Amino acid sequence: MTAAVRVHGLRYAFNGSVAVSNIDLTVQTGEVFGLLGPNGAGKTTTIRAITALLPVPAGTISIFGLDVTRNRMAVRRLIGYVPQMLSADSDLTGRENVSLFARLFDVPRRQRAARVDEVIDAMGLTEAADRRASTYSGGMVRRLELAQALISMPRLLILDEPTIGLDPLARSGVWERIAAIRRDTGMTVLVTTHYMDEAEQACDRVALMHRGEIRVLGAPEALIADLPEPDGDLDDVFRAHVGDHLDDDRTRGMRDVRASRRTARRLG
């Protein structure tokens, strides 16, 4: 079976500073794969290269066998992407936001209304669909963004910090919707997150990144089982591979993303 994502020798530098250093990564079709690490680890740069939002200056990336550099538009049609920053327009209703994405993705006009209703219902937003997005809670906005990403029926769903800044109940709700999508469609999911507990529960495999490199990769339970001490978790796995400064890096990363999202809400 063709891998959903294959990255080989990817290297990225900004103004001489290396963001991603010669990483190799394979995401199998149908799995939930977590790309984990603190802010500045290289996760978002890697995601932007995979989604063809950044060029690939060194190395290769393929999506379901299609080279990202040579087949950029074809690759984008296979992907649903939810970025860190808010992508919903607060002045539009939930239905209008999803309908806009349906037009952007060239969903056939005859299918458009039914498809919009379908993804809105799948995200549990039917009752709120005709309210302005500015009235939505943080968790509802994130589910609306999932609906936008799913309108094109992508084979690969990419989520960049999908639950950052949400309360535990909203985080749980977002993951329940993601699990339902995967169960119903077999869709491949690639997710970045700071939350190790989410990754431990939801991901089939994870890659732990730090300072542009993948430090360790495998199934969460296998990585935890390799720890010298019993009763460990993914936080302990990360500390074992990158040291004790994880908490400061991760706290700063979550603070930075929350600040970006607050600015986006304020600007509408």
Q: What is the DSSP string of the chain?
A: ---SEEEEEEEEEETTEEEEEEEEEEE-TT-EEEEE--TTSSHHHHHHHHTTSS--SEEEEEETTEETTT-HHHHHTTEEEE-SS--S-TTSBHHHHHHHHHHHTT--HHHHHHHHHHHHHHTT-TTTTTSBGGGS-HHHHHHHHHHHHHTT--SEEEEESTTTT--HHHHHHHHHHHHHHHHHH--EEEEEES-HHHHHHH-SEEEEEETTEEEEEE-HHHHHHTSSSSS--HHHHHHHHH-TTHHHHHHHHHHHHHHHHHHHHHH-
Crossing angle of helices 109-122 and 94-104, in 10° steps, is 130
d(CA 204, CA 20): 23
Rounded CA-CA distance 87/268 in Å is 10
The crossing angle, in degrees rounded to 10, of helices 246-267 and 234-242 is 110
**241 vs 95: which has the higher pLDDT:** 95
Do 36 and 192 meet the contact criterion of CB atoms below 8 Å apart?
A: yes
Reported as a pLDDT band with limits 50, 70 and 90, residue 261 is very low
Number of domains composing the chain? 1
Whether the pLDDT of residue 262 is over 60: the answer is no
Higher-pLDDT residue of 219, 193 = 219
Query: Domain range for residue 60?
Result: 5-267
Are 72 and 243 in contact, with CB atoms under 8 Å apart? no
- At 151-195, the pLDDT tens digits run 999 999 999 888 877 888 888 888 888 888 888 889 999 999 888
Decide: pTM greater than 0.75: yes
- Which tokens go with 20? 């991603």
Check residue 177 and give its pLDDT: 86
Q: Please give the residue that has the higher pLDDT: either 245 or 116.
A: 116
* β-bridge partners, 188: 156
Kindly report, residue by residue over 89-142, the tens digit of the pLDDT. 999 999 999 999 999 988 999 999 999 999 999 999 999 999 999 999 988 998
Percent of the chain at pLDDT exceeding 90: 57
- How far is Cα 132 from Cα 62, in angstroms, rounded to an integer? 38
Over range 194-213, report the average pLDDT: 91
Confidence of residue 245 (pLDDT cuts 50, 70, 90): low
Residues 2-28, mean pLDDT to the nearest whole number? 91
Q: What is the structure's pLDDT at 163?
A: 86
Percent of the chain with pLDDT over 70: 90
Asked whether residue 266 carries a pLDDT value surpassing 90, the answer given is no
Q: Are 124 and 177 in contact (CB under 8 A)?
A: yes
CATH number for 259: 3.40.50.300
| pLDDT at residue number 33 | 97
